[in-house]
Amino acid sequence: MATSSKVHLLPSQQPVFYVPGISSESAETTNQLLQRNHEKHHIFFNYAGFHNHIAHHLLSLFALNATPTELRQGWDDNVSYQRSMVPLKQSVVTDMHDPKKYKRYLGSENYYHSFLVFFEQEIDQKGWQQVLNEYIFKGDERADDMLVRMFGGILHPIIHLGFGVEFEQPAIIAEALAQAAVHDNREASHLVESEKAAEAHSPDRRSDTTIVQLLTESYVDTQHTSSRRTKHARQVHVTEENLEEKTAEMINAAVYFTGAAQNPRHQVKFDFWNIHAVNLSIFFCSFLRQPWLSSPNKIRLLEWKIRNDLAMYASPRPPKLLLDEITHYKSKKDSSWEDIFKRVKTYHDDGHACKLVRALANGEQVCKIYEDKDGFVIKGDMWRKLGNMAIDSVEAGSPDYVRSGAWSTVPLRDQSSL
């Protein structure tokens, strides 16, 4: 049985998106490797705040029905540079159970191990669902502070949480909570400001503006001060009636502003920061499934995600979105989804590529019933084209991704393909 300190996946697991036929050998290999990671490694692999992605990578490979050999390759590609855990101070864990003392340890990576043990103990006592409702979704000062931290670090804490919830692994959830606790609360603090502005802008919480319309407004508005970002974010409203549709719309819009942000002179590449908006999107399908998470909290979480996506697109300057780059894309391999999965399972990286491919494949399934509605730009065969773009772009060689619009590092396209 999966516990707060023991990973236990089953071959019968049914995450949000998976390739059927997962073997017991693959499940056991994943369990062994994730357990080693849980016990031995820090959540940062260096002292500059770069994240350990082993859990993300292995769980994505597991869901795509990777073989034990492919899983071990994913582990071997990334284990050598991981940091060891900081030695545990039990006195610090004891302090953390005092709410007043708990605060003093927030934001410091030195206390990751302590927070991990603390949240393991809380989960053992209360269950992971109650711990999440208490520490993330309660709506009090402590929970809101932790929710902000969840959206820090280029979304890594909440991505980690998404994996834990989707695969029902309390140990991964404990890692996510500890990870959030050691991030600062500044990077995503705009979300609190945006929420207040949205409440003032539309007290009845109604809005007919699509996310794509807000992206377009962000592009047109070239003066991206903080107040301008708030102007767009305050128009984001979700209701219980449109929660499922808005979840699909968020996925569609995130894929649109990530996939269509190309530079036609250069090889196809995805923006490294924006792919995290896509990689996170799949877990909102999982959050919808959770009976322990209240509808108001599901709504709030989705609104924060949409507002954060708008901020990611607009910063530092929004790129022009070229839909033709997707619709007219010609892959030399033109792989089926099955072949895309095969290629990405053997690609040597830290898991960003397989997370992206799985999120895109999930997006196709979720958005299919809404294709005729406003705000759904990505539709039909564009999803498989995007899957090919994703794997083609990393297989093409360095850099795997473009960072903050720095296209000068990306090779030019073959002129015959223009």
pLDDT tens digits in sequence order for the chain, 418 residues long = 999 999 999 999 999 999 999 999 999 999 999 999 999 999 999 999 999 999 999 999 999 999 999 999 999 999 999 999 999 999 999 999 999 999 999 999 999 999 999 999 999 999 999 999 999 999 999 999 999 999 999 999 999 999 999 999 999 999 999 999 999 999 899 999 999 988 887 766 677 899 999 999 999 886 545 545 568 888 999 999 999 999 999 999 999 999 999 999 999 999 999 999 999 999 999 999 999 999 999 999 999 999 999 999 998 889 999 999 999 999 999 999 999 999 999 999 999 999 999 999 999 999 999 999 999 999 999 999 999 999 999 999 999 999 988 999 999 998 655 4
350 SS3 class? coil
Same domain, 101 and 212: no
Whether 11 and 132 share a structural domain: yes
**For residue 291, cis peptide bond before it (omega within 30 degrees of 0):** no
Q: What is the pLDDT of residue 229?
A: 58
Q: How far is residue 270's CA from residue 280's CA, in Å, rounded to a whole number? A: 15
| Phi–psi pair at 240, nearest 5 degrees | -65, -30
**Residue finishing a domain among 163, 184, 205:** 184
If asked whether residues 326 and 408 sit together in one domain, one would say yes
Whether residue 237 contacts residue 208, with contact meaning beta carbons closer than 8 Å, is answered with no
Are residue 362 and residue 298 in the same domain, yes or no? yes
Length of the chain: 418
Token reading at 204: 């009845």
Residue 262 CB partners (closer than 8 Å, separation 6+): 268, 269, 322, 325
Looking at the fold, whether 196 and 115 belong to one and the same domain comes out as no
d(CA 306, CA 202): 16
Give the position of tokens 């003392």.
101
Give the total number of structural domains in the chain: 2
Let me know whether 178 and 199 are in one domain: no
- Assess whether 204 and 180 both reside in one domain: no
Domain that residue 130 falls in: 1-184
Q: How far apart are CA 284 and CA 161, in angstroms?
A: 11
56 and 201 co-located in one domain: no
Three-state DSSP state, 412: strand
> Residues 260, 279: contact at Cβ < 8 Å?
no
In terms of Cβ atoms closer than 10 Å to its own Cβ (0-12, 13-18, 19+), residue 84 is exposed
∠ Cα 35 37 41 (to 5°)? 140
Distance CA(143)–CA(164), nearest Å, equals 18
**Residue 184 half-sphere exposure, CB side, CA atoms within 13 Å?**
4
- The reported pLDDT for the residue numbered 405 is 85
According to the model, what pLDDT value does residue 371 have?
96
CB atoms within 10 A of CB 90: 9
Please report where in the chains the tokens 């509605």 appear, as a residue: 373
Most distant CA pair in the chain, distance: 66
Residue finishing a domain among 131, 159, 184: 184
The DSSP secondary-structure symbol of 136 reads T
Q: How far apart are CA 293 and CA 147, in angstroms?
A: 14
Q: Do 275 and 138 fall into the same domain?
A: no
CB 197 within 8 A of CB 230: yes
Tokens of 228: 């301008």
Tokens (6 digits) for 180: 């959030």
On whether both 196 and 311 belong to a single domain, the answer is: yes
3-state helix, strand, coil in the chain (%, to 5): 60, 0, 40
Same domain, 195 and 282: yes
